[in-house]
Amino acid sequence: HTIQWRITASFSVLIIAVMTVLGFVLTDTIRESQLDNMRTRLTGQAFVISEFILPLMSGETDISSIADEITRIGEPLSERITVIDSSGTVIGDSQEDISLLDNHGGRPEFKAALSGTTGESTRYSTTLGYDMMYLAVPVISEGTTIGSVRVSYPLEDIRIMTGRVITGVITAIGAAVLLVCISAWVISRRITRPVRELTEASLKMASGELHQHIDIGSLNETNKLAHSFNRMSSQLSETIDTLTKERTRLVSILENIADGVIMTDNEGQVLTANKAAGSIFRIRDHTFETKPIIELIRDHEMNDILQQCLYTGMEQVYQYESSHYKRFLRVLAVPVKVEKVFGVLLLIQDLTELRSLQTMRRELIGNISHDFRTPLAGIKAMVETLQDGAMEDRTAAPDFLSRIEDEVDRLTQLVTELTELSRIET
């Protein structure tokens, strides 16, 4: 079924058909030519013999004399000569005993001769045992047909000659077919070589060997084909290399992002996800198969966000506490679209620790506020007491000042602890 075999087979069938038709035409032409030559020759001989035999048939000559004369005339000839009277009785034959011959009145060539025309017939001779051509001419005496001279010749020679022509034609057909097959094989192999190389290179490209190059042939069409394929191979290789680099970079970025990233199609089937998403949703080995997100992570709130984004085609932002995973999550759903939405990119931030830290900070700030409020209230009261006249009291004033100093030291200690805590959180 290859192009090479098809070309070879097509040329072979064509040459066989042409040579066969030519053989039939040639054989038929040669056979008809031989028959025409034989017909002309027999007609001429028949008329010559009829002129010679006319005096014998129109006179009182004995039949045996006519038979002997016909035998004498036909002895050097290969043709058979038969003389028939008007009643159909054979009165002379150059090759057969006339006593053994039946009446020829019903023979078609004799009937035509009796009517005054040249009669011709080709048939199997029961006497001789092979096909014969019979040609009869009338013998006319004073305007009256008194008989007929028939000359016949076996068609075996023509059959042998025709057989030789057929043999020659068959031999020529065989030689031509062999020559055409060899020529077509060589030519088609040369023509289809770039196609075979292109096929092999394409199969290698399909298996992943992208850097393929085929030789540019001398034919203009295959030259263009090879050049186009080599250019396509180079461009495809460059494109794949670029995409591979971009994919590697993207995978590296995704794997190193602290936030979870999940990519889905427009039916909610998970296409890919990074390690952080696997950690958040406790997926073993971080293996994400193509399956619905609700089946993969079993989080209805996440599925609702995804469906809302697919339905509206707009960005969705939600914060919720997952009851299944006991984590506080912030989800950003971004539709991926060109002319229509064909996927959604989910960015999942785990805010559980941040939320706990904020709770601790609020509690810490409340405790610090309480710790600040007590010494400040004491300092304010002692300052007001000193302002109200205690400054004049030599015994109370130093005591108040000492207490104020202690409270200030206490506040300084609290500020130092708060600064250190802030640095640790940072």
DSSP result, 15-40: HHHHHHHHHHHHHHHHHHHHHHHHHH
Q: Show the tokens assigned to 376.
A: 């400040």
Higher pLDDT pick, 256 / 346: 346
Alpha-carbon span 214 to 201, nearest angstrom: 7
pLDDT(179) > 70: yes
Higher pLDDT pick, 46 / 191: 46
pLDDT(220) > 60: no
- Element spanning 11, H or E: helix 3-58
Alpha-carbon span 391 to 297, nearest angstrom: 73
pLDDT(31) > 60: yes
Of 148, 66, 52, the residue nearest 109 (C-alpha):
148
Q: How far is CA 188 from CA 46, 177, 197, in A?
A: 61, 15, 14
Report the Cα 175 to chain-centroid distance in Å. Answer: 36
Of 33, 96, 98, 40, the residue nearest 64 (C-alpha):
98
pLDDT(25) > 80: yes
Is residue 367 within 8 A of residue 392, CB to CB? The reply is no
* Secondary structure of residue 198 in the 3-state scheme: helix
| Alpha carbons within 13 A on the beta-carbon side of 399 | 7
Alpha-carbon span 370 to 224, nearest angstrom: 88
Alpha-carbon span 139 to 146, nearest angstrom: 6
Rg (CA), the chain: 61
Alpha-carbon span 419 to 340, nearest angstrom: 53
* Secondary structure of residue 153 in the 3-state scheme: strand
Is residue 261 within 8 A of residue 346, CB to CB? The reply is yes
- Nearby residues of 38 by Cβ (< 8 Å), 6 or more positions away: 133, 153, 158
φ, ψ dihedrals at 78, nearest 5°: -85, -15
Alpha-carbon span 209 to 68, nearest angstrom: 100
pLDDT value of position 1: 62
The amino acid sitting at 420 is E
Strand partners, 141: 144
Q: What's the rounded mean pLDDT across residues 205-218?
A: 66
- Distinct helix (H) and strand (E) counts, the chain: 10, 10
Number of neighbours of residue 76 by Cβ within 10 angstroms? 7
Lowest mean pLDDT among 2-11, 20-29, 161-170, 242-251: 2-11
- Band of pLDDT at residue 14, cut at 50, 70 and 90: confident
Rounded to two decimals, the pTM is 0.43
| Residue range 105-153, pLDDT digits in tens | 888 888 898 888 889 888 877 766 778 888 999 988 888 888 899 998 8
Q: Show the tokens assigned to 248.
A: 């590697």
pLDDT(423) > 80: no
Is residue 262 within 8 A of residue 241, CB to CB? The reply is no
Percent of the chain having pLDDT more than 90? 2
| Residue range 55-79, pLDDT digits in tens | 888 776 677 778 888 888 888 888 8
pLDDT value of position 161: 78
pLDDT value of position 137: 92
* Secondary structure of residue 396 in the 3-state scheme: helix
DSSP result, 309-353: HHHH-S-EEEEEEETTTTEEEEEEEEEEESSSEEEEEEEEEE-HH
Lowest mean pLDDT among 22-31, 86-95, 307-316: 22-31
**HEC sequence for 80-124:** EEEEEECCCCEEEECCCCHHHCCCCCCCHHHHHHHCCCCEEEEEE
